[in-house]
Amino acid sequence: MATTANPTRDDFAAMLDEQLGAADEGGFEGRVVKGTVTAIENGMAHIDVGLKSEGRVDLKEFMRNEDEHGLEVGSEVEVFVDRIENAEGEAMLSRDRARREAAWDKLESEFGEGKRVEGRIFGRVKGGFTVDLDGAVAFLPGSQVDIRPVRDVGPLMDMPQPFQILKMDRRRGNIVVSRRAVLEETRAEQRGELIDKLTEGQVIDGVVKNITDYGAFVDLGGIDGLLHVTDMSYKRVNHPSEMIEIGATVTVQIIRINEETQRISLGMKQLESDPWDGVSQKYPVGAKMTGTVTNITEYGAFVELEPGIEGLVHVSEMSWTKKNVHPGKIVSTSQEVEVMVLEVDSEKRRISLGLKQAQRNPWEEFAEAHPVGSKVEGEVKNATEFGLFIGLPGDVDGMVHMSDIAWGISGEDALALHRKGENVEAIVLDVDIDKERISLGMKQLEKGAPSADGTDAGALRKNQTVTVTVLEVRDGGLEVQVGEDGATGFIKRSDLGRDRDEQRPDRFQVGSKLDAMVTGFDRSKKPNFSIKARQIAEEKEAVQQFGSSDSGASLGDILGEALKKKED
């Protein structure tokens, strides 16, 4: 227990604090105080800060350079009191800590005001560099060294330069600074001054600084502008290097200045006359022109009519006969072609062209050279499930439907008679120019085929009743033939009789003979037969011969009388 006669160490400390005024000022420890150099010996400076004992500080902490510390006995300096007394009874002082504390106070003030600070890059650490801010050590991330990546930082080392404080944490002793922010701010100020001197529409000379795929950057005297590839010329430019090269001086016009982003858009073609002026008069719709293919895409080809004027030939307008073919298989780049103007839109700067329209419609030519009924010869290009496609003069195809291949056999069997690559003869049945279709018939060349007026060797005509022989029984009806070598035709299921029970194909057999009426001819002049139509016609004839049903006689009585008369 402490007494006045026998005080403890804590009592001495309390008395010392009272003597030094620690109760009011918080003590000497952890503070920066002023002291006087009392002696300089053995590379150490002895400093009296008003404590009961002096402290020693290494002269290196006072070095301004490698040879000069600038101290002498009696010099007044600021030091940091780490401890009032160590094990040897000396005060623990530090000039470096004093400098750091002073620097922190100054930096916190400047950080709060957003001011720049001066420092020196003196070391390299992981992810960046260390910076001396007049005693305080800060971290400079590698990404904050410059606006663009810097390969060699050597020239920047130990050189006084401004920095911007990004973050401070005194408790942890962390400071993060940026040199890039200072450069960007300076650059923005310079750009702002230069931009104020520029106006939209101004014509100015610049030097090509860099070329990219989409354009070129032009130095306008300290500020760059973008010359986009589409603004270099009215004609098609595939790459900016076709027009300019790095280091070349070019005359450009300022198209647009974005004050927010400080970006400048430049143009060269704006200094030329616009070839699209009066384009509607130069290229009227329907006019045929000669141009050069400049570009080929999936959807068509671009044709240059004159420098700066291009039109698009859509893939659908490239060929009359080649459908679903890549444009590159029809035309090639730099090829000279004849086209027709289909549409002109001056506002959108678009011209629609047609390649096939500059040529004669091959279906019109075929129709003139081969009218309906004429005989043609061609190669079987393709055989489908419904017919044959025949290659014809003029690079067009005609189709022979399976029902028009041969008489007396089914369409499937007729298809099996012909192969791809075989040369065949046919008759033109129909030409539809609008739908680009040509219908052909092969069986019409056979013996017994109906003529163009619907008659054959047996004088077959509409509404005539003839005896036919069943060739084939199908679900949909009967395939029949007139006589032994006459025309073949079809009786539909619904035409096999007036009653539903009679409309069953299975009640007939191949070889059976029956009477039917010719109801007409299809597009291939093939006759259509009907038993039902014959029955109706006979009933009408009976009514006319034996009186109207208004007399009171039933239709059955009239038919019965008619049949009896026919038997007599």
pLDDT tens string 333-348? 989 999 999 999 988 8
More confident residue, 540 or 11: 540
- CA 300, 305, 308, 311 torsion-angle sign: negative
pLDDT of residue 498: 87
Tokens coding 212: 């990219």
CB 309 within 8 A of CB 250: no
**Residue 465 forms beta bridges with which residues?**
517
| Structural domains of the chain, with CATH | 11-99 (2.40.50.140), 114-184 (2.40.50.140), 198-271 (2.40.50.140), 281-358 (2.40.50.140), 368-445 (2.40.50.140), 465-545 (2.40.50.140)
Say which DSSP state 438 is in.
E
Radius of gyration from C-alpha coordinates of the chain: 54
Q: Which residue has the higher pLDDT, 227 or 23?
A: 227
CB-side neighbour CA atoms (13 Å) of 97: 15
DSSP-derived 3-state class of residue 452: coil
Greater confidence, 8 or 491?
491
Q: Which helix (H) or strand (E) holds 519?
A: strand 513-521
114 vs 132: CA distance, rounded Å: 19
Q: Which pLDDT does position 455 carry in this prediction?
A: 43
Is the C-alpha dihedral spanning 147, 149, 151, 153 positive or negative? positive
Lowest-confidence segment of 258-267, 369-378, 421-430 by average pLDDT: 258-267
Q: Which two tokens stand for residue 548?
A: 């109207």
* DSSP-derived secondary structure for 221-258: SSSEEEEEGGGT-SS--S-GGGT--TT-EEEEEEEEEE
- Which residue, chain included where needed, has tokens 């950057």? 217
| Lowest-confidence pick of 69-78, 86-95, 258-267 | 86-95
* pLDDT computed for residue 551 by the predictor: 46
Which two tokens mark 539? 């009933």
What's the pLDDT band for 221 if we cut at 50, 70, 90?
Answer: confident
Residue 552 has pLDDT above 60, yes or no: no
Percentages helix, strand, coil for the chain (3-state, rounded to 5) are 25, 35, 40
- pLDDT per position as a tens digit, 11-37: 655 555 554 444 333 456 666 677 777
For a pLDDT cut of 90, what percent of the chain falls above it?
A: 18
Q: Which residues contact 413 (CB under 8 A, 6 or more apart)?
A: 406
Whether the predicted pLDDT of 253 surpasses 50: yes
Residue pair 489/449 in contact (Cβ under 8 Å)? The answer is no
Where is 95: in which H helix or E strand? helix 95-113
What is the spatial distance between Cα 427 and Cα 415, in angstroms, rounded to a whole number? 17
Residues 424-477 pLDDT 10s: 989 998 888 888 889 998 888 875 555 444 444 345 677 888 889 998 888 889
Burial class (CB in 10 A: 0-12, 13-18, 19+), 303: buried
Query: What is the pTM (predicted TM-score) of this model?
Result: 0.43
pLDDT at residue 445 in the model: 81
SS3 296: strand
Phi/psi for 550 (5° steps) reads -70, -15
